A and B are shown apart, each in its own frame.
Chain A
Amino acid sequence: MSAQALLEVHDLGKRFASRAGRDSSLWVIRDLSFSVADGEFLTIVGPSGSGKTTLLNMIAQIDVASGGEVRFQSEVAPINDPKSLNPGLSCRIGYVTQEDNLLPWRTMLQNVLFPLVVQGRLNDETRARAEMLIRTVGLAGFENHYPHELSGGMRKRASLIRTLVYDPPVILMDEPFGALDAQTRTVLQEDLLRLWNLGRKTIIFVTHDITEAIALGDRTLVLTRAPARVAGEHKIDLPRPRDIRGILTDPKFIEIYQRIREQVQ
């Protein structure tokens, strides 16, 4: 790894309480360790049910861990006690979830400004930033639309820039483009890479789509089936900026794809 680790995960585990009648409790994630460097785009692939969402929920601290620790800039996050959880680690970890989770009673613009409002940081400068992001992802003109008046792709974009607008150092993304059609998905992947190029945030992007993981990431981790562990790590040394549509035929891409494919069961 080139730069110093920004976020480290050590021996992280998650166990769900056993159902009545069974002795052994179910570990979804066990002894999972990895780290992310500052400004790195890390992608994580794993089969469905491998606890990817649980992993991000624990890092975001909306879910408790059953073991292990998460460190942010060497500071240990309180993830083992439900009472001391600090969701978002004081606005330093952003989280773009699988569903857009826009507030249906707020217009698109109000949704994008929401984190700035709750953090008391809404001013001319941050508002201008929000407007810039809205223009960058092509949502200009839809500021006063309610979420139900927007298409799925537009809602996804809004939820993406709602997290980017308050500029958290780390952003977690949980299959954000999972529910979209192939065409929209490609456009959004391009949008995401463009936005990432603007700020070079640290991103942990979880997906079950190997192609997406390679096309977006600097490095890809492959998870095993539950209990999830790291099955392999792949450096994606494809040049940037990348052409999402053209990359599929790149021999290097195909070679990485084959390697990852063998590890994903």
Chain B
Amino acid sequence: MTSQDTALDLAQPSQVKWRQYVVTAGRIVLAILLVAAWKIGADRAGPIYVADPFLVANRIVTDTMSGELVHHVYVTLRLSVIGFAIGCFFGVVLPFLLRRLPRLTDAIEPYIMASVGIPKYALIPLFILWFGIDDAPKLWLVGLLVFYPIFIAVFAGIRNVDRRLINMARVMGASEAMISREVIWNSLQSFFFAALKIALPRAISATIIGEFLVGNAGLGFFIEYSRQNFDTTGVFAGIVIATALVLVINSVLVRIDRRLNAWRPTDRDMEL
């Protein structure tokens, strides 16, 4: 060990902690201001257009106690998770298969990129026509909406992998499967997690939109049912719950990302 070879000092100065408190306090103040603005808006616009935030909170509590909201959340989450899993699976596996077939990739790439442009929500009527009014049309919608961002990110991630690392692994005797799993998969983690941050909230909103049109349960059904009954408080309660769901999922995701990718030199992700 020579003197100039000391490892970098990674200790955090205490200033950082103090700054963290200021940020947290700022966020709380902002939250209070937002609720206040909402309350003022509700009083001005009237209960048919904007629901009173305290009535919404009240509604959330009572409907949660009665188990009704819990059931809707469960239905929405279940569908989102299954649809997400399907879309994510193909979004990850296809680029890895295409990597081995560069000519095929070149041939179909413009078609894939063109299909990105199709507005997926516009396909719902067709999905209902083709797949009935059960879970299937909603799963197709969620799956497709999740598939694209993940496919594109993983595809770009694979192209972005440092060739030198792949060559190094090859010289050391790594098989193509090992290179895919170890070098490529790990290299594209930041791409993958960036895509997840888009895809997971998308899975929830796609499910909700699907439920507007098809089905008799789920948050989308709850919101649409409330709207049809001029129950604006119910609509707002549904939106608040959907938002909370997305926020919880995102913060879990950020935590997983941080745990798995602790090796990354800098981590500047937003945390909630």
Contact = CB atoms under 8 A, between A and B. Distances in A.
Interface in B132-174: 162, 164-165, 167-174
A97 B174 CA distance: 17
A146 B170 CA distance: 22
Interface residues of A, number: 39
A91 B173 contact: yes
A62 B171 contact: yes
A189 B78 CA distance: 61
Contact of B186 (A88, A103, A181, A184): A103
Interface string A52-75: 000000001110000000000000
A255 B195 CA distance: 62
Interface stretch (B2-10, B87-95, B113-121, B233-241): B2-10
Given A153-B4, A184-B2, A103 B165 contact: yes
A60 B4 contact: no
Nearest to A181: B4
A94 B171 CA distance: 7
A176 interface: no
Nearest to A142: B7
B183 interface: yes
A90 B1 CA distance: 34
Main secondary structure, interface of A, reads loop
Contacts, number: 87
Given A101-B164, A105-B186, A153 B171 contact: no
A104 B183 CA distance: 10
A167 to B, nearest CB: 12
A118 B164 contact: no
B168 A118 contact: no
B21 interface: no
Interface in B78-104: none
Contact of A138 (B1, B172, B265): B1
B7 A149 contact: yes
Contact of A62 (B4, B8, B162, B170): B170
A133 interface: no
Contacts of A101: 162, 164-165, 168
Contacts of B189: 105
Contacts of A140: 1
A169 to B, nearest CB: 14
B178 interface: yes
Contacts of A141: 1
Contacts of B168: 95, 97, 101
B243 interface: no
A154 interface: yes
Contact of A153 (B5, B8, B169, B178): B5
Nearest to B260: A105
Interface string A147-167: 011110110000000010010
A97 B164 CA distance: 9
B171 A187 contact: no
A132 B181 CA distance: 29
Contacts of B18: none
A153 B8 CA distance: 12
B167 A103 contact: no
A115 interface: yes
Given A138-B2, A183-B4, A184-B2, A146 B171 contact: no
B216 to A, nearest CB: 47
B130 interface: no
Interface string A12-25: 00000000000000
A117 to B, nearest CB: 9
Contacts of A106: 263
Contacts of A91: 172-173
B261 interface: yes
Interface in B168-202: 168-175, 178, 182-183, 186, 189
Contacts of B164: 97, 99, 101
28 contacts: A60-B171, A61-B171, A62-B171, A87-B167, A88-B171, A91-B173, A99-B164, A101-B164, A103-B182, A103-B183, A103-B186, A105-B189, A105-B263, A114-B172, A115-B172, A115-B173, A118-B175, A138-B1, A140-B1, A145-B7, A148-B263, A148-B265, A150-B7, A151-B4, A151-B5, A153-B2, A184-B2, A184-B5
Interface of B: 1-2, 4-8, 10, 162, 164-165, 167-175, 178, 182-183, 186, 189, 261, 263-265
